[in-house]
């Protein structure tokens, strides 16, 4: 355990956004604010809207209506808004704010492009007019398959301006993963880059999309952004980004969206192979993300927000909407953050005067491998907060970042939530002491708890992370699958949202995430269902069945290990290397198993369900727990032996 703890200075506390919010309501500080925000969630979320000046075209008459049950809350009832008004429109009336940099993009080769708020809004209008000419309207789904480039930001707002539904996709997805999400969303248009550059290599993106669209009949048009200038095959439905913006059409007014209307479908892995479409609304996503960036990350107008992420993960849209709702500058980095060397991140922060730097534990573990004095070589004085999410920290990497790089003067805001949460459940605030690796405590307005199997509160012991009240950015369901939504989040503890994480509250009241309580793997902050990997493995003609599990990895947090059983009639040498390649091709290289073992059988229940928990325990050499329901517990010994022997 680490002894490191962040202690804010009096000046830091005095000037923090969250302090302003507390004092505006006669509260002494964060402790009282946390308590009141949960005791009266309606009061809190209304206070956020007013404190941050978030505009509603039609004011809401009620903050929250739970008459349909906690599973189906209605927020900001009667209100109409659009994220474009809150993130762009309101800054254009002030010339100084309109000329402030809204987006600064740096490519791997060091090229920088920027857009002011005025320029961004103009591009958004042109893009919206172009999409409108393509037939995109209110409720239509538009998928984005883009790296972190300015066109991604323009696209987000252009889609929202029309009242269409955003479907962001991870830029590293393989064709089948792209197709499954586009099919589920019934996307009408896809915006794609010709490619991107990573580690000095051009990586094409349009060919993967073209392959995916063979099985996506709803897609009528594809807008192609010429990002790196590579030749890509054109089809009759393609239109260039330049032509889209140069169409000269009428964008129409910003759509006044009912507070509960969809803004985005954010896909996340569940325990089955089929991705889940989390439904986020204009009002809910806006209010929650704006509050995260303002109060957890303490961004003020003119602040500079940079998070090393991807459009396909929730931090992509959260960074965009949260930064611009607070009048900040968003820095996008496209490429690998350790190219040309591991100093690139610090160079990026220094060059752009970053005030809020978002990183992952995996990235910091990679950068920490270089024995160098970062603080002596770079001016990082602009950095005011560090953000982190997606996976647990290890104390050595956390302390190196907080103490060695930043000298203990900057808080690490390590927050935990999820795609379907639309932000955080747990988060420390920069005005409170934060222990190494801690998640602080409940996020404001989030009535979270740790409970035992009977739903009773636990302290000092590991239990299930739950939430007892709704929040504005809570997914409106699983897209087109109500039963799956109720089963995934509400069936374990009636009346409480079960998130699928193990958590612990220690004796000092600090909160920690201890890993997933379901089978979902967390690979460098990216959630991956075992069933997605297993479906690829069992598609091989030599494979009868397979199991994929996540095991601790010093860099990725978790790595995928896979075990496969050959078909009885298969006469083949070990094909483990082929299986690794197949997963990389189908799901993307980040999800390829790092270890694949051939075994003669897998442990199963008497109903033939594979016991992934036991497989993982055998792989790690730990106690598999109660195996009374196992049909063939001897299979565990074989897995232990194979892992110990290192057979592939």
Identify the pLDDT of residue 387.
Answer: 97
Asked whether residue 352 carries a pLDDT value surpassing 90, the answer given is: yes
516-571 per-position pLDDT tens digit? 666 677 787 776 777 778 878 888 888 888 889 989 888 778 899 999 988 777 76
- pLDDT (0 to 100) of residue 515: 67
The stretch 458-473 carries a mean pLDDT of 94
Residue 596's alpha-carbon distances to 263, 573, 637, in angstroms, are 40, 14, 17
Is 598 contained in some domain?
Answer: yes
Helix (H) or strand (E) holding 283: helix 282-291
Q: What is the pLDDT of residue 64?
A: 98
Determine the Cα–Cα distance for residues 433 and 23; give it in Å rounded to an integer: 19
pLDDT tens digits, one per residue of 128-181? 999 999 999 999 999 999 999 999 999 999 999 999 999 999 898 889 889 999
The answer to whether residue 565 is domain-embedded is yes
Q: Is residue 558 a part of any domain in this protein?
A: yes
Tell me the per-residue pLDDT of 39-89, one tens digit each, with 9 for 90 and over: 999 999 999 999 999 999 999 999 999 999 999 999 999 999 999 999 999
In this structure, are residues 31 and 445 in contact, taking their beta carbons and an 8 Å threshold?
no
Q: Using H for helix, E for strand and C for coil, what is the string for 68-112?
A: CCCCCCEEEECCEECHHHHHCHHHCCCHHHHCCEEEEEEECCCCE
Residue 117 lies in a domain: no
Q: What is the mean pLDDT of residues 119-130?
A: 98
Q: What is d(CA 230, CA 232) in angstroms, rounded to the nearest whole number?
A: 6
What is the predicted pLDDT for the residue at 647?
47
Domain count, the chain: 1
Q: What pLDDT is recorded for position 607? A: 43
Asked whether the predicted pLDDT for residue 648 surpasses 70, the reply is: no
Residue 231 lies in a domain: no
393 by DSSP, 3-state: which? coil
The continuous run of DSSP H or E covering 225 comes out as: strand 221-225
For residue 565, the model assigns a pLDDT of 86
- The lowest-confidence range among 312-316, 440-444, 533-537 is 533-537
pLDDT for the residue numbered 508: 86
What is the model's pLDDT at position 622? 87
**pLDDT tens string 356-406:** 999 988 788 778 765 568 888 999 999 999 999 877 787 888 999 999 999
Alpha helix (H) residue ranges in 297-368: 315-325, 344-352, 361-368
Mean pLDDT of 420-433: 96
Q: What is the pLDDT at residue 630? A: 63
What is the spatial distance between Cα 228 and Cα 204, in angstroms, rounded to a whole number? 9
Identify the domain containing residue 632 by its residue range.
521-645
Say yes or no to pLDDT of 505 above 60: yes
| Mean pLDDT rounded to a whole number for the chain | 91
Q: Does residue 613 sit within a domain?
A: yes
Write down the pLDDT at residue 270.
58
Q: Is 372 helix (H, G, I), strand (E, B) or coil?
A: coil
For residue 566, give the CATH number of its domain: 3.30.300.30
Of 648 and 507, the one with more pLDDT: 507
Does residue 581 belong to any structural domain of this protein? yes
* pLDDT for res 461: 86
Lowest mean pLDDT among 113-122, 295-304, 340-349, 607-616: 607-616
Name the strands in the sheet holding 557-566, side by side, starting at the edge strand that comes first in the sequence. Answer: 543-553, 557-566, 595-598
Specify if 546 maps to a domain.
Answer: yes
| Calpha distance 36→183 (Å, rounded) | 43
pTM of the entire predicted model: 0.84
What's the CA gap between 246 and 127, in Å, rounded?
A: 8
Average pLDDT over every residue of 487-493: 93
3-state secondary structure 497-549: EEEEEEEEECCCCCEEEEEECCCCEEECCEEECHHHHHHHHHCCCCEEEEEEE
CB 362 within 8 A of CB 391: yes
């Amino acid at each position: 355990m680490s002894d490191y703890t962040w202690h804010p200075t009096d000046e830091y506390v005095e000037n923090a956004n969250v302090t302003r919010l507390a004092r505006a309501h006669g509260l002494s500080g964060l402790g009282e604010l946390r308590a009141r925000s949960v005791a009266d969630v309606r009061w809190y979320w209304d206070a956020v809207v007013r404190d941050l000046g978030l505009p509603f075209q039609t004011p809401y008459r009620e903050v929250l209506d739970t008459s349909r049950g906690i599973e189906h809350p209605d927020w900001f009832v009667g209100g109409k808004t659009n994220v474009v008004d809150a993130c762009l429109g309101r800054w254009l009336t002030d010339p100084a704010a309109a000329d402030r940099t809204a987006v600064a993009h740096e490519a791997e080769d060091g090229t920088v492009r920027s857009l002011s708020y005025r320029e961004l809004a103009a591009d958004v209008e042109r893009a919206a007019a172009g999409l409108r000419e393509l037939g995109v309207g209110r409720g239509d789904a538009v998928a984005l398959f883009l790296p972190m480039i300015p066109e991604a930001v323009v696209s987000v707002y252009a889609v929202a301006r029309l009242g269409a539904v955003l479907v962001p996709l991870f830029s590293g997805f393989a064709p089948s993963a792209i197709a499954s999400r586009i099919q589920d969303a019934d996307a009408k248009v896809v915006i794609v880059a010709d490619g991107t550059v990573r580690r000095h290599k051009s990586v094409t993106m349009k060919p993967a999309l073209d392959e995916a669209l063979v099985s996506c009949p709803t897609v009528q048009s594809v807008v192609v952004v010429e990002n790196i200038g590579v030749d890509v095959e054109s089809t009759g439905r393609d239109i260039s980004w330049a032509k889209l913006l140069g169409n000269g059409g009428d964008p129409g007014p910003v759509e006044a969206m009912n507070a509960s209307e969809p803004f985005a479908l954010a896909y996340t892995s569940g325990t089955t192979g089929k991705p889940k479409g989390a439904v986020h609304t204009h009002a809910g996503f806006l209010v929650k993300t704006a509050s995260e960036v303002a109060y957890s990350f303490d961004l003020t107008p003119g602040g500079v927000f940079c998070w090393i992420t991807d459009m396909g993960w929730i931090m992509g849209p959260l960074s965009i909407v949260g930064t611009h709702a607070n009048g900040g500058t968003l820095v996008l980095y496209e490429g690998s953050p350790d190219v040309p060397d591991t100093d690139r991140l610090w160079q990026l922060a220094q060059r752009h005067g970053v005030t809020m730097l978002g990183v992952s534990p995996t990235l910091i573990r990679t950068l920490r491998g270089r024995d160098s004095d970062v603080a002596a070589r770079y001016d990082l004085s602009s950095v005011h907060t560090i953000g982190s999410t997606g996976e647990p920290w290890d104390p050595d990497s956390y302390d190196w970042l907080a103490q060695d790089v930043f000298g203990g003067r900057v808080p690490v805001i390590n927050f935990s939530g999820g795609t379907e949460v639309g932000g955080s459940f747990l988060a420390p605030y920069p005005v409170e002491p934060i222990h190494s690796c801690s998640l602080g405590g409940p996020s404001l307005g989030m009535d979270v708890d740790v409970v035992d199997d009977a739903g009773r509160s636990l302290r000092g012991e590991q239990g299930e992370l739950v939430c007892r009240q709704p929040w504005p950015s809570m997914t409106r369901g699983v897209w087109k699958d109500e039963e799956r939504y109720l089963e995934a989040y509400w069936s374990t503890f009636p009346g409480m949202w079960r998130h699928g994480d193990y958590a612990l509250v220690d004796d000092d009241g600090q909160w920690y995430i201890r890993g997933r309580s379901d089978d979902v793997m967390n690979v460098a902050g990216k959630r991956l269902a075992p069933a997605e990997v297993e479906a690829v493995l069992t598609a091989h003609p030599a494979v009868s069945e397979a199991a994929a599990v996540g095991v601790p990895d010093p860099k990725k947090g978790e790595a995928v290990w896979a075990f496969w059983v050959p078909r009885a009639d298969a006469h083949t040498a070990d094909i483990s290397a082929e299986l690794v390649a197949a997963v990389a091709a189908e799901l993307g290289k980040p999800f390829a198993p790092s270890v694949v073992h051939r075994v003669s059988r897998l442990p199963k229940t008497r109903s033939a369900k594979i016991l992934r928990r036991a497989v993982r325990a055998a792989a790690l050499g730990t106690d598999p727990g109660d195996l009374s329901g196992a049909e063939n517990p001897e299979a565990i010994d074989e897995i232990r032996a194979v892992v110990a022997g290192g057979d592939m």
